[in-house]
């Protein structure tokens, strides 16, 4: 298999806190591959966790990035879904087993043997690890590449490949729509997308935040009501009133306080990923036949559905566009929550 050198931005070890320019190898397009010139790549908090080996599973060198939007520059001889010049996107995974029950159901995110992540996963073609979107180009099997609708802003589309599908999938799974009263907990990269999507689905959206300063922004994003979650009186007014809660908080917080806002048969789905266990009182579940669940991105077909839905409703992420030389600063700002609401790298700056 032929390979070529590609310029990328990553880190060679956990001791190197700062990312820098690296040379990596990409395979040339095989029969079913699509080669994509990367135009924009979003920054997800998991990029930072992985670059710094905070989940203790990083293989170095690492090139993060799984919110990728670009243009097709080459295709393999058997590719049917794309042609050169098409807008294309790649999300959190670039392959899966394709044989297990979940892959056959279009739930590749739950692939039984394990899917191949866009970065820091074993690379079955070249050996070593997969490299992500902080790079000039990427080569991916056409079955794991998404088509980008022409009317979407490309930079604002990049975060849809993670933050968008992460919030869209549970809203769809729990059948949010007209008549639903939905709570969204937290207004960050995930939460701001949850607000936009739930509102576009026709739900009445109630946003819960610890920051009074975010009230107006929540309403701008589409919230019908905003609740200060640190105020017991405000919280008590919403007891047993919600059909579904999308919990986007990645820090320790009181799950019982939100479970008690659900109606009978209501569900709370966790999409944030706190590092510490979240205690739950049994009666918060038992007394209302409530469900406490989790959700993890979406399959390829559902991700395409999400992009098409966003195109139909003119939804993209609120972003701050940066150059690759600002990535290290962006990581530090990300730790402080200092972004509204997603950093996106203009990959032309890598050249």
Q: What's the number of domains the chain is made of?
A: 2
Q: Quick one: 313 and 276 in the same domain?
A: no
Give the predicted TM-score (pTM) of the model: 0.97
pLDDT by position in tens, the chain (length 351): 899 999 999 999 888 889 999 999 999 999 999 999 999 999 999 999 999 999 999 999 999 999 999 999 999 999 999 999 999 999 999 999 999 999 999 999 999 999 999 999 999 999 999 999 999 999 999 999 999 999 999 999 999 999 999 999 999 999 999 999 999 999 999 999 999 999 999 999 999 999 898 999 999 999 999 999 999 999 999 999 999 999 999 999 999 999 999 999 999 999 998 889 999 999 999 999 999 999 999 999 999 999 999 999 999 999 999 999 999 999 999 999 999 999 999 999 998
**Is the separation of the CB atoms in 145 and 161 below 8 Å?**
no
Cis omega (within 30 of 0) on the bond before 341? yes
Q: Are residues 139 and 20 in the same domain?
A: yes
267: its two tokens: 């569900």
* Same domain flag for 73 and 46: yes
Q: From the CB of residue 209, how many other CB atoms can be counted at a distance below 10 Å?
A: 23
Please check whether residues 80 and 227 belong to one and the same domain: no
Task: Output the domain CATH number for residue 233.
Answer: 3.40.50.720
Q: How far is CA 215 from the centre of its chain?
A: 24
CATH number of the CATH domain containing 133? 3.90.180.10
Phi-psi region of 98 (alpha: psi -120 to 50; beta: other; left: phi over 0): left
Do residue 288 and residue 167 come from a single domain?
yes
Per-residue pLDDT, 31: 97
Model pLDDT, residue 351: 84
Same domain, 143 and 64: yes
Tell whether 17 and 61 lie within a shared domain: yes
pLDDT at 15: 86
Give me the domain span that covers residue 306.
3-162+299-350
pLDDT at residue 203, rounded to an integer? 98
Convert 98-130 to b/e letters by CB count within 10 Å (16 or more is b): eebebbeeebbbbbeeebbbbbbbebebeeebb
Looking at the structure, tell me whether residues 223 and 121 fall in a common domain.
Answer: no
pLDDT for the residue 195: 98
13 and 150 together in one domain: yes
* pLDDT value, residue 16: 87
For residues 328 and 208, membership in a common domain is answered with: no
Question: Residues 269, 305: one domain?
Answer: no
**167 and 249 belong to one structural domain:** yes
């Amino acid at each position: 298999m032929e390979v070529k050198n590609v310029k990328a931005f990553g880190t060679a070890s956990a001791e190197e806190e700062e990312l820098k320019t690296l040379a990596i190898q990409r395979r040339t397009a095989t029969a079913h591959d699509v080669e994509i010139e990367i135009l924009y790549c979003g920054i997800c908090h998991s990029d930072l966790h992985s670059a710094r080996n905070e989940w203790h599973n990083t293989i170095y060198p690492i090139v993060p990035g799984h919110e990728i939007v670009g243009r097709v520059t080459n295709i393999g001889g058997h590719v049917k879904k794309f042609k050169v010049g098409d807008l294309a996107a790649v999300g959190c995974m670039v392959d899966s087993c394709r044989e297990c029950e979940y892959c056959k159901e279009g739930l590749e995110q739950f692939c039984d043997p394990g899917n191949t992540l866009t970065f820091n996963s074993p690379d079955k073609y070249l050996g070593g690890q997969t490299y992500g979107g902080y790079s000039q180009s990427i080569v991916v099997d056409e079955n794991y590449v998404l088509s980008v609708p022409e009317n979407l802003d490309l930079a604002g589309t990049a975060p849809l490949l993670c933050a968008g599908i992460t919030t869209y999938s549970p809203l769809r799974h729990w059948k949010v729509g007209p008549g639903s009263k939905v709570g969204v907990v937290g207004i960050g990269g995930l939460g701001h997308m949850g607000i936009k999507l739930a509102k576009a689905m026709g739900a009445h959206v109630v946003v819960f935040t610890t920051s009074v300063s975010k009230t107006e922004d929540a309403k701008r994003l589409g919230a019908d009501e905003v609740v200060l979650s640190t105020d017991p009186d405000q919280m008590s007014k919403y007891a047993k009133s919600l059909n579904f809660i999308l919990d986007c908080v990645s820090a320790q917080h009181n799950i019982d306080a939100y479970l008690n806002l659900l109606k009978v048969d209501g569900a709370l789905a966790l999409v944030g990923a706190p590092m510490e266990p979240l205690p739950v009182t049994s009666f918060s579940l038992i007394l209302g036949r409530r469900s406490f669940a989790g959700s993890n991105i979406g399959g390829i077909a559902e991700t395409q559905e999400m992009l098409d839905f966003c195109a139909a409703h003119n939804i993209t992420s609120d972003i701050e566009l940066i150059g690759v030389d600002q990535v290290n600063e962006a990581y530090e700002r990300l730790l402080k929550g200092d972004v509204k609401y997603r950093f996106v790298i203009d990959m032309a700056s890598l050249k």
